[in-house]
Structures are given as structure tokens and as C-alpha cells.
Amino acid sequence: MNFDLRRNWRFVGALGALAVFTVIHFLFYRPAAARYQAALASAGGIGAVFRSGSQHAPIPPRTFSLIANNTLKSGDAEERGSSGELGVLFLEDLGRFAASSGLVVISSEPQAVSQDKLTSMIRAHMVLRGTYSEIASFFGGLSDSGELITVDAFQITEGPGGQDLLDLGVSRLYLKQPEATR
């Protein structure tokens, strides 16, 4: 049996494509699928918040990641919210966003924390100083953060030396993970 490569180039090409796709499957797809399944398992009851009794399509991975990154256990959210820890962490995050944008924090103060059955809302008030482009960069950083942050109110006033003042009211939302029932 003499195997002629020129006559069987399609077969050899198909075997090569099979080998490439097999390597890609085992190196990239399977680990990603395993991470997604592990995230689903670790999220526990997070799907119960979004189910109303009927069968729904699975949550897309990016949406699931956004929800999982903004979820706290119900008891943990109550405790950390009432102690002021969530407010302090929120102000630290806002301060980091401001510093990375080149803004100077003039003042910052936590506001009331609202707790209900499914969410915790942390509010803060800040006054920042910088150029208009730094303020725009700050808002861009907030929108790209992957956190559920809303800007409730803001006012930009002209300041001395080309520096503007940003008076900002902002909120951070945490979803509460339901307690497991037995």
C-alpha cells in the first residue's frame, strides 16, 4: 500500500483540521465551560431572584457575571450595610476612580443605606476638582467598572485656574442572595 500525499490531500487536511479543533476544544473551551459551571454552582440561589415560577432561558454569561459580582448574602448585606462598612468601601472605590482619572477629592461622605428584601442601596455624596476631560474620564470609569452604580445627581461648576468642581450624588446597588430554605 503506497500512500500518495498528492492524491489524498483532502484527507490529510481533514485530519489536520480535526487535530487543531481538538486541541482548541481541550485547551480553551472545556476550561471555560468548567469555570462557568463552577460559577453557576457557587451562585446558589441567585437564580431564584429572577425566576417567577415559569421556566426561563439560562442567563447569558456576561449578565450572570455582572449579577454575581454585585450580589451579597442577605445577612451579610444587612450586617455590613448597618455597620457602615459598605458605605466606606463604596467611598474608597469612588476615591480610586477619581484618583485614576486625575480628580482631587475635596469632600466625601456616606449617605443613608436603604435595605429591602432583595436589594441594598448605598448612597454617597462627593465634591471633586479637576478638568472637564478628567470628569468625563471619571464618568467613563464608573460606567466601565462592572458595578451597579447610578449617578443620582451631579453639577459641574467652573472653578479657578481651569479646574471645575463636580458635586456628585451617587448610589451603589447590591442584590441580596436569598437564604437557602430547607
Q: What is the pTM of this model?
A: 0.62
Q: Give the right CATH number for 71-177 from 3.50.50.60, 3.40.50.620, 3.20.20.220, 3.30.70.60.
A: 3.30.70.60
pLDDT of residue 1: 47
Q: What's the mean pLDDT in 138-163?
A: 88
Q: What's the mean pLDDT in 142-161?
A: 88
Confidence band (pLDDT; 50, 70, 90) for 26?
A: very high
Q: Give 26's Cβ-side CA count (13 Å radius).
A: 5
Rounded to whole angstroms, the Cα distance separating 147 from 121 reads: 12
**N- to C-terminal Cα distance for the chain?**
68
Rounded to whole angstroms, the Cα distance separating 161 from 30 reads: 56
In one-letter notation, the amino acid at residue 28 is F
Using alpha carbons, select from 128, 91, 118 the residue that is nearest to residue 173: 118
SS3 (DSSP) at 128: strand
